[in-house]
Amino acid sequence: MLSFIIIGKNEGWKLTKCLESVYSFIKINSIVDYEVIYVDSKSSDDSIERAKAFRDVLIFQITGECNAAIGRNIGAKESKGDILFFIDGDMEIKVDFYKVAFDDNLNLMYPFVSGGLINCNYNSNWNLLYVSEYHRNKKKDKFENDTGGVFIIKRELWEQVGGMKTKFKRNEDLDLGMRLSKLGYPVLRKKEIIACHHTIPYSDKKRAWKLLFDTSELYPMVLFRDHITSAVAWRRVFSENYTLLLLILVGIIIILTNILSLFGLYFISLLFKAYRNEIKISLNLLLNILKFFLRDIVRFFAFFFFFPRSHPIHYRRI
């Protein structure tokens, strides 16, 4: 059986599009052995009513702590299929990806697989800004550690690692991918498109500042600390946090030499990162510098002092 597991919070029209795409996937590919599960994270909009509009959708609502890991774990727990197709509620899956991942007998050809994404990027008022591709290598398939919000996995593999860690408010997908990679099962990123993602980009100024102040920026360092012996984790921390690493290095040198002017090197790195980010979004350069400086400070303290606990799972069936 193929279990479609959708998670969401206040997705509104995006959830309707998501469910429509799932049922199109089922119909066009003549899938008869399936189930559709929706796990809601305390939506305050009409998401649950939208899910009820579709036939045979099993609906569950989280009543305790909410995050994506908890939602996916609930969906997996309540599912009956030997193949789990996880989908974020703001995505539309592509019907032709079936032939990429499955054979004619509904057998998953790869233990852990995903594909490229088309990102439909919106502003905070949900006006479409531009369309881009993400996780896309048009020439060939490749193995990765980053699963993203849509992937297909064999149940036995999911259960082998115990699903997702509920302590993660963010980066739970990266943690899962890295743990599976250690067992020899990195996600196979097919070159074909698996879904269209309706999203507000991380570079959006409102979203960027929200992430900074809602504790989301603490979790990348939790991920790094948990996988500190992994070369993948080090590559990621160097690519995303090079200003933080430079701040630490400059700080150590200043303590040893008392040459305060070395702090200028860190400021130049912030200026470089802020300028690159300003090209993508309409955010003042000085605000960008401030944002990245605060993010570096937050992540520095997160590495040493932030140790989130796993959350218990509480939910009910609707």
User: Could you say which DSSP state residue 54 is in?
Assistant: S
Of 73, 15, 14, 71, nearest to 39 by C-alpha is: 71
Annotate 121-146 with b (16+ C-beta within 10 A) or e (fewer): bbeeeeeeeeeeeebeeeeeeeebbb
Same domain, 122 and 251: no
Between β-strands 57-62 and 112-122, what pairing exists: parallel, antiparallel or unpaired?
unpaired
Domain end point (choices 145, 166, 201): 201
Domain shared by 176 and 292, yes or no: no
CATH of residue 167 = 3.90.550.10
Rounded CA-CA distance 293/234 in Å is 21
Q: Which residues contact 103 (CB under 8 A, 6 or more apart)?
A: 109
Residues of the chain with pLDDT under 50: 279-282
177 within some domain: yes
| Residue % of the chain over a pLDDT of 90 | 78
What would the pLDDT profile of 182-228 be if each residue is shown by its tens digit? 999 999 999 999 999 999 987 777 777 777 788 899 999 999 999 99
Residues 76 and 140 in one domain: yes
Number of domains forming the structure of the chain: 2
Tens digits of residue pLDDT in 32-64: 999 999 999 999 999 999 999 998 999 999 999
- For residues 147 and 197, membership in a common domain is answered with yes
284 and 141 within one domain:
no
* Spatial distance between the Cα atoms of 218 and 212, rounded to a whole number of angstroms: 8
Summarised one tens digit per residue, pLDDT across range 158-169 is 999 999 999 999
155 and 110 together in one domain: yes
Is 314 among the domain residues? no
- The answer to the question of residue 217 being in a domain is no
Residues 137 and 192 in one domain: yes
**Does a structural domain hold residue 148?**
yes
In b/e form, how buried is each residue of 173-208, taking b as 16+ CB within 10 angstroms? bbbbbbbbbeeebbbbbbebbbbbbbbbbeebbebb
318 located within any domain: no
In the chain, % of residues over pLDDT 70:
97
Q: What is the DSSP letter of 203?
A: T
Give the domain range for residue 292: 222-305
Q: What is the pLDDT of residue 309?
A: 96
Domain-located, residue 172:
yes
Q: What is the CA radius of gyration of the chain?
A: 21
**Domain identity same for 226 and 186:** no
Examine the domain organization and report whether 101 and 57 are in the same domain: yes
